[in-house]
């Protein structure tokens, strides 16, 4: 996981420096028709370094990424896997992926991994990218989707409620983010969905390309 995060953070830096295509090629990639397969192949090509070295590589890359986003205008656009992203969305995708893979490591080890209010950004990303998820699956939604989520401290997060949603998703903010990160089967969650696109929304929800 750390190697994958290091590689993708290094790609982020390359994108910001105008070297995205070159960096993809250096990993042995020739496009992202299948992003998951491309990422897995990139990790396989660089396996073998000691764990502490891989971890330090990721920490160094992550530090550069934070500095890069700190000096960006949130509206700046940069190339990425599924197409250009604004700096704000780009930063949120990095937060989401880091959170997902940190969980992949922490949970099996039994390390405490609390959900914080920073997950608001991940939940909003998942809602905002529903049109992309629908388009990727060839699904034409019959109307807007609204989301109403409850956090561990009882707070409520709402997205899309001003558009008169035809489909509504409600439930745990943490479960919503886990489903979007493909770490929880929506049918095994307590999320509730109603409306014409209820099933498609739960099935297609995602935070990455």
DSSP per-residue letters across 71-131:
TS-TT-EE--TTS-EEHHHHHHHHHHHHHHHHHHHHHHHT------TTHHHHHHHHHHTHH
- Please tell me the CATH code under which domain 119-204 is placed: 3.30.1050.10
R_g of the chain computed on alpha carbons = 18
Q: Which two tokens stand for residue 130?
A: 């529903």
* 54 close to 62: Cβ distance less than 8 angstroms: no
Q: Domain residue spans in the chain?
A: 2-109, 119-204
> Do strands 167-172 and 192-194 pair parallel, antiparallel, or not at all (unpaired)?
antiparallel
Confidence of residue 177 (pLDDT cuts 50, 70, 90): very high
What is the pLDDT at residue 33?
Answer: 47
What is the pLDDT at residue 79?
Answer: 93
pLDDT tops 60 at residue 32: no
Q: What angle do CA 112, 118, 119 make, to 5 degrees?
A: 80
Q: Is the pTM of this model over 0.75?
A: yes
Q: Of the ranges 26-30, 98-102, 175-179, 181-185, which one carries the lowest mean pLDDT score?
A: 26-30
* 87 close to 78: Cβ distance less than 8 angstroms: yes
List, for residues 94-114, the tens digit of each pLDDT value: 999 999 999 998 989 999 888
List, for residues 113-146, the tens digit of each pLDDT value: 889 999 999 999 999 999 999 999 999 999 999 9
């Amino acid at each position: 996981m750390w190697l994958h995060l290091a590689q993708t953070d290094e790609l982020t830096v390359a994108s910001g420096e105008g070297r995205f295509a070159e960096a993809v090629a250096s990993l042995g990639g020739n496009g992202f028709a299948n992003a998951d397969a491309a990422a897995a192949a990139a990790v396989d090509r660089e396996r073998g370094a000691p764990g502490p070295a891989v971890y330090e590589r990721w920490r160094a890359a992550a530090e550069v990424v934070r500095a890069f986003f700190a000096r960006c205008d949130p509206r700046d656009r940069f190339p990425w896997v599924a197409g250009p992203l604004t700096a704000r969305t780009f930063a949120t995708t990095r937060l989401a992926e880091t959170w997902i893979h940190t969980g992949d490591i922490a949970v099996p080890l039994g390390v405490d991994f609390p959900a914080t209010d920073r997950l608001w950004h991940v939940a909003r990303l998942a809602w905002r990218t529903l049109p992309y998820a629908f388009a990727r699956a060839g699904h034409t939604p019959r109307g807007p989707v609204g989301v109403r989520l409850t956090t561990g401290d009882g707070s409520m997060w709402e997205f899309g409620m001003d558009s008169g949603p035809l489909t509504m998703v409600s439930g745990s903010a943490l479960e919503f983010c886990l489903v979007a990160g493909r770490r929880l089967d929506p049918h095994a969650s307590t999320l509730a969905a109603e409306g014409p696109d209820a099933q498609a929304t739960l099935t297609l929800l995602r935070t990455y390309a």
